[in-house]
C-alpha cells in the first residue's frame, strides 16, 4: 500500500459553478479533468494524504492585504473568498502540525492581484498567497516568508504587495515580459528602497524546457533561499509553463513540475494559472501532489511528451545562465543597491499606470514611501481609476517604527475627504482597517 | 409474510413479519464454522408449522463473504491490471497472481496505448498454470472506455471459469479501489454461489420454494440470482441490518443518529428524514478499500463489556474488552457492572460487580454508588463525543461548487434512537448530555432481522456523456450509444432513469414503488480553442435505501406490541 513520506494536505476546490465567462480559460471546466485524474488515481485514499474542505476567508483576512475599491463585496465573488479560504485552511493545518506540506488546488487564481484592487486583472481579484501569508503572520507569529512564483506569467500582484517588505522574499520565474502578459518582471525590478533585493525576477526565454527551469531552481533560487532563511516557503504553483499550454510558449512538462516541487520543497503551494486543461493539468497536478507527499512519480507522463523534441537550444541555455548570474549578483549586492536607492531622500515616490485586462479598467497610482532604515516604511497610495473611483490608501507595515506609524496616522487623518471617494488606513501593527468616505 | 434472517457474530436472528407485525422470532447460536447449517436451522425454525404459501420471500444477511475475506480463506483470484501513466499499479498488488500489462486509456476515454493480445495470452497461460480459475480485469479509466477490459476479457475467457471486468463492478472513478473491489468480487464468487445454491436447494427439498434476497452493505437488497455476479456487494451487510430496522421508528422529518450499543462496540449511523446516509466512497475491510456502496457507519470500541481504566482521577472506557462483565464472571469491571451496582440491571452477581467497582471508588474517594454513577456517566459522555465526531466528519466532507459550500446541507441531529443490549438504561442520560430527545427502537433485540426483512432493493447507475466525441455510456450496464453535439443533460437523465428501471427490475425490485433520485448531475461546456465544442455530462442515479411498500402496517404493529 502507498504511504506518503510527508503528511500532505490538499484543498481541492474546482469551483464547478464559477467562470469569468462561458469560453474564458478561467471557466467551470478548468479542473474537471484534474479531478478525474486525482479521483481515478485514488490519491485521497493514500495514507498520509488528507483532503480538507475549504473554508471561507473573512473580509478581515482580505483587509490585511488589499484595499478594495469600492469595497470587498463589489470586487470579489464568493469563489474568491473560498479560494483564499482554501489556502488559509491548509496554513492552519500546517501550523497545527496536522500536515507537513500542503497544496491548495483552488480557483480562481490570485497572483496578479495587487494591493489596490479595482477589479480583475489577469484572471485575479484577490491574492490568495498574500492573504494566507498575512493570516499566518497575524495568527501564528510567522515572520520571514519566501514566495517562489513558478507561474509562466510574472507575479506582478504579489510583487506589488511585497515590494516594500524586507521580510518577504519574492522570486518570480516566468516567460520574458517582452513576450507575454503582464509585460513586467525584469531583472532590474528589485523592490523599493526599504526592501531592495527581496524582490527578484528571473525572466526566461520562450521554449525554456526542463533543463532551464531546474537549473534556475538549483543554481539561483536554492542558494538565495539558503541565505534568506525563511520560516516558510510558499510556491505560487502556476502550471502554464507546460508545452501544451494554449496561452504561453514554454516547454516544461509534468515530470519537470514534479522535479521542481521535489527540489524546492515548498511548505505550502497554491495553484495559479494553467490552461491546458486536458493534456497537462491532470498530469502536472498528479506529479506535484506525489512529489509533495514524497511518493514515486516516475510513471507520470502526459501524452505527447518527447524529451528530445522539447529540449531547449544551447542559445536559450546561455541566456538563462546569464540571467541567473545577474539575479545572483543583484541579490549579493542588495545592501549597496538599497543604499543607492535611498540616497539622501526622506521619501521615495512612484507613479504608475495599471491596467485591468479582464475588467477593462485603467488606474493611475502615485505612491509615497517613507524611506526608513528601521522598518518597511509608511506607505501612501493615491489611486484614480476610470471606473470613476478615487481613493487614498495608507499602509502601516507590520513592524513599523514609531515614526512611520505616526506618519501613517497623520496621512490618514489629514487626507482631504472632499478629494477622494475613499480614504483607507490599513494598520498592520494592530491588525486594524478603517475608512472614511467622501464628504 | 416475509422472513428476515441476520447472521451475527454470536447469534443469528430470524423473524417472520407480516400484516400483523412480528409473527414469530427466533435466536439461534451462530456456528461460524458451519454457517450453512446455521442459516438452514434458522429458516427451518421460523417456518415450522407455517403455511409456506403465506410467505412471499426471505431476505438473508450473512457474514459469509465478510468472514471469508477477513480470515483469508478464499481460493486465490488472478488480476490483470493495466495502468498507463500515473501511480505505479504495483502499489495495489492483491496477491502473487497479479499481472500488470501495457495498454492505457486517458481521463477522457481516449486510447493512449493499445492492448497487446500476445502479452495477455502469455499472462493467461501463466495464470492457468498456477491453477487460477477466476480472474479480474481492471484498467485505469475503464469507466470512460470499456474497450480494453472487454478485449482482455474476450481473449482470456476460454481459459477460466469466470472473468470479471472492473467496469461492470463499479461505475465510479477510483482505480485502486476498483482493483480491490473486482478482486474481492472474483474471490468470493465461488463461495457465494455454492452457498446460496445449497441454501436454495435444501429449502426446495423441504418444500420451501420462495424467492431469496440478500442484504447489501447499503441497506438495500438484491435477488439472489442477480447477486451471483456481484457477490462483493453482500460484504459487511451486518451494520446496515440494524439501521434499516430502526428506520421506521425515526420521526418522518428529522436528522436521527442511530446507536447500536453492544457489548464490545457501539455502531452509529445517520438518518435524514428516514433515509440513511451513504458512505462517500465504499466499505473498507481489512486492507481492502473498495467501491462497494455502504451506509455511512461509525464504530467505536465502547460497549457494555468494555474495560474501565483509571488514569489518575480520570475514568476512560474501552476500547478493549476482556470478557463479559464481572457480574457474569468476567475478569475486569465494565460499564455493565456499574449498572448492576446501581441496581438498574439484575440477573447477575451484583456482589462481583461491586468488588470490581470498589477499587475505582477508593481511588476517586467516592462511595460505591457514586463511583458506579461516574463510570456510567463517563460511558455516556464518550458515546456522545464519538457521535459529535461522526457528525463533524460528515459535515467536513469536501464539496466542489460554491453553491454546496455556501448552502450545502450540514447535518444537525435532532434526535437519537438507541438499540442493543443495555440501550434502555442509556436513554435518560444520553438525553441529558445531548439535549436531544432519545428513544429506544421498539423490539430492538430483533431490529436487525426486522430491518433485513423490510429492506427494499437498491441499485445505482453512472452515466458519462461527451457530446464533442459524440457518445453516452453507462459502463456497469454495458451501455453505450452515439449522441449529437446538442444532446442535453435532460436527455441523459431520461436514459439514466430508463437504465435504472431496467436494473431495478433485474435485481428484483418492486417496480410499482420505485423511489429513484439523482445523486449527481453535472454538465460542463467543453471549450476548445476558445469555441464551445460540446458538453461533458456526468450523472449518477439511485434507487435509494428504504423500506418496502407496506412496511408501515408492519412496523406500527411492532411498535404497539413492543415487548420482546
Q: Cβ–Cβ of A18/B289 closer than 8 Å? A: no
By three-state DSSP, how is residue A134 classified?
helix
Which residue positions in chain A have pLDDT lower than 70? Answer: none
Interface check for B95 against chain A (CB to CB < 8 A): the answer is no
Residue among A64, A58, A67 at smallest CA distance from A432: A64
Phi and psi dihedrals of B316, rounded to 5? Answer: -130, 150
Q: Cβ–Cβ of B86/A41 closer than 8 Å? A: yes
At A73 the pLDDT is: 93
A66, A112, A153, A395: the catalytic one is A112
At B71 the pLDDT is: 86
Q: Which CATH number fits domain B250-440: 3.90.220.20, 3.90.470.20, 1.10.3720.10, 3.30.420.40?
A: 3.30.420.40
> Which stretches of B290-422 are DSSP H helices?
335-341, 350-364, 368-395, 402-407
Picking from A17, A290, A299, the nearest residue to B403 by CB comes out as A17
- Distance in angstroms (rounded) separating the CA atoms of residues B504 and A323: 67
Cα end-to-end span (Å), chain B? 19
Q: Which CATH number fits domain B78-187: 3.30.70, 3.40.50, 1.10.238, 1.10.3210?
A: 3.40.50
Q: Which residue of B has its CA nearest to A285?
A: B86
Which residue positions in chain B have pLDDT lower than 50? Answer: 564
- Distance in angstroms (rounded) separating the CA atoms of residues B259 and A435: 53
B175 contact residues in A (CB cutoff 8 A): 40-42
Distance from CA of A114 to the nearest CA of B (A): 24
pLDDT digits (tens, 9 = 90+) for B525-557: 999 887 889 999 999 999 999 999 989 999 999
Q: What is the interface pTM, i.e. ipTM, of the complex? A: 0.93
Distance from CA of B548 to the nearest CA of A (A): 34
In chain A, where are the structural domains located? Answer: 3-335, 344-437
By three-state DSSP, how is residue A235 classified?
strand
- Distance in angstroms (rounded) separating the CA atoms of residues B561 and A357: 74
| Assigned fold of A3-335 | 3.40.800
A219: DSSP letter: I
A53 contact residues in B (CB cutoff 8 A): 396-399, 405
- Asked if A112 is an active-site residue, the reply is yes
Picking from A11, A17, A282, the nearest residue to B402 by CB comes out as A17
In chain B, where are the structural domains located? Answer: 78-187, 250-440, 459-543
At B386 the pLDDT is: 97
A103 contact residues in B (CB cutoff 8 A): none
Q: Cβ–Cβ of B177/A42 closer than 8 Å? A: yes
The backbone region for B534, taken as left when phi is positive above 0, alpha when psi lies in -120 to 50, beta otherwise, is left
By three-state DSSP, how is residue B538 classified?
strand
- Distance in angstroms (rounded) separating the CA atoms of residues B539 and B560: 42
At B562 the pLDDT is: 54
At A190 the pLDDT is: 98
At B73 the pLDDT is: 83
- Distance in angstroms (rounded) separating the CA atoms of residues A132 and A267: 12
By three-state DSSP, how is residue A267 classified?
coil
Picking from A13, A296, A301, the nearest residue to B400 by CB comes out as A13
Q: Which residue of B has its CA nearest to A38?
A: B174
How many residue pairs from chains A and B have C-beta atoms closer than 8 A? 119
- The reply to whether domains B78-187 and B250-440 share a CATH topology is no
Q: Residues near B255 by Cβ (< 8 Å), separated by ≥ 6?
A: B270, B271, B272, B273, B411, B412, B413, B414, B415
Distance from CA of B302 to the nearest CA of A (A): 26
Picking from A1, A15, A56, the nearest residue to B287 by CB comes out as A1
Phi and psi dihedrals of B203, rounded to 5? Answer: -65, -40
pLDDT digits (tens, 9 = 90+) for B52-61: 999 999 999 9
Length of chain B measured in residues = 564
Amino acid at each position: 500500500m502507498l504511504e506518503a513520506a510527508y503528511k500532505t494536505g490538499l484543498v481541492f476546490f474546482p469551483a464547478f459553478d464559477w467562470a469569468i465567462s462561458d469560453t474564458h480559460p478561467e471557466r467551470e471546466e478548468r479542473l474537471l479533468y484534474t479531478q478525474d485524474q486525482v479521483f481515478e488515481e485514488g490519491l485521497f485514499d493514500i495514507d498520509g494524504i488528507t483532503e480538507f474542505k475549504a473554508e471561507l476567508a473573512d473580509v478581515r483576512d482580505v483587509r490585511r492585504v488589499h484595499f478594495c475599491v469600492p469595497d470587498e463585496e463589489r470586487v470579489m465573488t464568493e469563489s474568491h473568498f473560498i479560494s483564499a479560504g482554501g489556502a488559509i485552511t491548509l496554513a492552519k493545518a500546517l501550523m497545527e502540525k496536522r500536515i507537513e506540506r500542503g497544496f491548495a488546488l483552488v480557483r480562481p487564481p490570485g497572483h496578479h492581484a495587487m494591493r489596490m484592487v479595482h477589479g480583475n486583472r489577469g484572471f485575479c481579484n484577490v491574492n490568495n498567497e498574500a492573504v494566507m501569508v498575512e493570516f499566518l503572520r497575524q495568527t501564528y507569529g510567522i515572520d520571514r516568508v519566501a514566495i517562489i512564483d513558478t507561474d509562466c506569467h510574472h507575479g506582478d500582484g504579489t510583487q506589488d504587495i511585497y515590494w516594500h517588505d524586507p521580510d518577504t522574499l519574492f522570486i518570480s520565474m516566468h516567460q520574458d515580459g517582452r513576450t507575454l502578459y503582464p509585460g513586467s518582471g525584469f531583472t532590474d525590478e528589485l523592490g523599493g528602497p526599504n526592501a531592495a533585493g527581496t524582490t527578484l525576477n528571473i525572466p526566461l526565454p520562450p521554449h525554456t524546457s526542463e533543463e532551464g527551469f531546474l537549473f534556475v531552481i538549483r543554481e539561483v533560487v536554492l542558494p538565495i533561499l539558503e541565505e534568506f532563511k525563511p520560516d516558510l516557503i510558499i510556491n505560487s504553483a502556476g502550471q502554464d509553463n507546460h508545452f501544451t499550454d494554449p496561452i504561453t510558449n514554454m516547454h516544461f512538462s509534468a515530470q519537470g513540475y514534479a522535479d521542481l516541487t521535489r527540489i524546492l520543497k515548498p511548505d505550502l503551494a497554491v495553484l495559479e494559472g494553467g490552461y491546458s486543461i486536458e493534456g497537462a493539468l491532470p498530469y502536472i497536478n498528479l506529479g506535484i501532489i506525489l512529489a509533495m507527499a514524497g511518493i514515486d512519480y516516475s510513471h507520470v507522463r502526459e501524452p505527447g511528451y518527447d524529451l528530445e523534441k522539447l529540449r531547449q537550444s544551447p542559445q536559450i541555455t546561455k541566456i538563462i545562465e546569464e540571467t541567473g548570474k545577474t539575479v545572483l549578483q543583484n541579490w549579493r549586492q542588495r545592501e549597496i543597491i538599497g543604499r543607492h536607492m535611498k540616497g539622501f531622500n526622506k521619501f521615495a515616490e512612484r507613479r504608475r499606470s495599471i491596467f485591468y485586462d479582464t475588467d477593462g479598467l485603467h488606474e493611475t497610482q502615485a505612491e509615497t514611501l517613507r524611506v526608513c532604515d528601521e522598518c518597511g516604511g509608511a506607505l501612501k497610495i493615491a489611486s484614480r481609476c476610470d471606473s470613476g473611483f478615487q481613493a487614498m490608501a495608507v499602509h502601516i507595515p507590520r513592524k513599523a517604527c514609531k515614526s512611520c506609524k505616526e506618519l501613517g496616522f497623520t496621512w490618514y487623518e489629514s487626507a482631504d475627504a472632499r478629494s477622494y471617494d475613499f480614504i483607507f488606513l490599513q494598520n498592520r501593527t494592530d491588525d486594524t482597517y478603517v475608512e472614511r468616505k467622501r464628504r | 409474510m416475509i422472513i428476515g434472517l441476520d447472521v451475527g457474530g454470536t447469534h443469528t436472528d430470524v423473524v417472520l413479519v407480516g400484516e400483523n407485525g412480528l409473527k414469530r422470532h427466533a435466536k439461534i447460536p451462530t456456528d461460524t464454522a458451519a454457517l450453512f447449517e446455521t442459516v438452514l436451522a434458522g429458516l427451518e425454525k421460523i417456518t415450522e408449522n407455517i403455511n409456506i404459501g403465506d410467505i412471499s420471500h426471505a431476505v438473508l444477511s450473512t457474514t459469509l463473504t465478510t468472514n471469508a475475506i477477513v480470515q483469508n480463506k478464499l481460493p486465490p483470484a488472478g488480476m490483470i491490471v493495466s495502468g498507463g501513466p500515473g501511480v505505479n499499479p504495483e502499489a495495489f498488488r492483491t496477491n502473487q497472481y497479479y499481472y500488470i500489462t501495457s495498454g492505457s486509456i486517458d481521463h477522457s476515454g481516449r486510447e493512449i496505448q493499445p492492448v497487446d493480445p500476445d502479452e495477455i495470452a502469455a499472462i493467461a497461460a501463466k495464470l492457468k498454470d498456477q491453477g487460477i480459475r477466476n480472474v479480474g480485469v481492471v484498467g485505469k479509466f475503464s469507466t470512460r472506455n470499456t474497450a480494453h477490459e472487454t478485449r482482455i476479457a474476450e481473449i482470456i475467457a476460454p481459459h477460466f471459469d469466470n472473468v470479471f471486468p472492473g467496469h461492470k463492478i463499479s461505475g465510479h472513478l477510483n482505480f485502486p479501489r476498483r482493483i480491490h473491489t473486482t478482486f474481492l468480487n472474483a474471490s468470493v464468487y465461488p463461495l457465494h454461489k455454492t452457498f446460496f445454491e445449497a441454501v436454495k436447494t435444501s429449502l426446495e427439498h423441504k418444500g420451501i420454494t420462495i424467492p431469496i434476497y440478500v442484504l447489501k452493505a447499503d441497506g438495500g437488497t438484491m435477488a439472489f440470482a442477480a447477486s451471483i455476479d456481484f457477490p462483493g456487494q453482500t460484504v459487511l451487510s451486518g451494520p446496515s441490518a440494524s439501521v434499516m430496522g430502526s428506520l421506521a421508528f425515526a420521526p418522518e422529518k428529522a436528522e436521527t443518529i442511530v446507536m447500536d450499543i453492544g457489548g464490545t462496540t457501539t455502531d452509529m449511523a445517520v438518518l435524514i428524514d428516514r433515509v440513511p446516509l451513504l458512505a462517500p466512497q465504499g466499505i473498507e475491510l481489512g486492507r481492502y478499500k473498495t467501491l462497494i456502496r455502504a451506509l455511512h457507519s461509525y464504530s467505536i470500541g465502547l460497549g457494555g463489556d468494555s474495560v474501565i481504566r483509571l488514569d489518575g482521577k480520570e475514568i476512560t472506557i474501552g476500547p478493549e474488552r476482556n470478557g463479559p462483565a464481572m457480574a457474569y464472571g468476567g475478569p475486569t469491571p465494565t460499564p455493565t457492572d456499574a449498572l448492576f451496582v446501581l441496581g438498574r440491571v439484575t440477573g447477575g452477581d451484583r456482589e462481583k460487580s461491586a468488588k470490581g467497582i470498589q477499587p475505582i471508588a477508593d481511588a476517586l474517594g467516592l462511595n460505591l454508588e457514586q463511583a458506579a454513577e461516574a463510570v456510567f456517566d463517563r460511558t455516556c459522555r464518550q458515546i456522545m463525543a464519538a457521535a459529535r465526531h461522526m457528525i463533524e466528519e460528515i459535515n467536513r466532507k469536501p464539496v466542489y461548487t460554491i453553491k454546496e459550500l455556501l448552502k450545502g446541507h450540514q447535518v444537525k441531529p435532532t434526535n437519537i434512537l438507541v438499540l442493543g443490549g443495555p440501550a434502555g438504561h442509556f436513554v435518560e442520560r444520553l438525553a441529558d448530555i445531548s439535549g436531544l430527545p432519545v428513544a429506544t427502537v421498539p423490539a430492538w433485540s430483533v431490529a436487525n432481522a426486522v430491518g433485513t426483512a423490510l429492506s427494499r432493493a437498491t441499485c445505482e447507475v453512472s452515466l458519462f456523456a461527451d457530446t464533442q466525441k459524440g457518445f453516452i455510456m453507462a459502463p456497469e450496464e454495458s451501455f453505450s450509444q452515439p449522441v449529437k453535439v446538442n444532446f442535453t443533460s435532460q436527455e441523459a437523465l431520461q436514459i439514466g432513469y430508463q437504465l435504472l428501471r431496467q436494473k431495478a427490475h433485474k435485481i428484483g425490485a418492486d417496480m410499482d414503488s420505485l423511489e429513484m433520485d439523482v445523486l449527481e448531475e453535472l454538465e460542463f461546456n467543453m471549450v476548445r480553442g476558445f469555441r464551445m465544442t460540446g458538453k461533458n455530462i456526468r450523472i449518477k442515479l439511485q434507487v435509494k435505501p428504504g423500506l418496502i411498500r407496506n412496511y408501515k402496517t408492519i412496523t406500527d404493529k411492532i411498535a404497539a406490541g413492543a415487548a420482546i
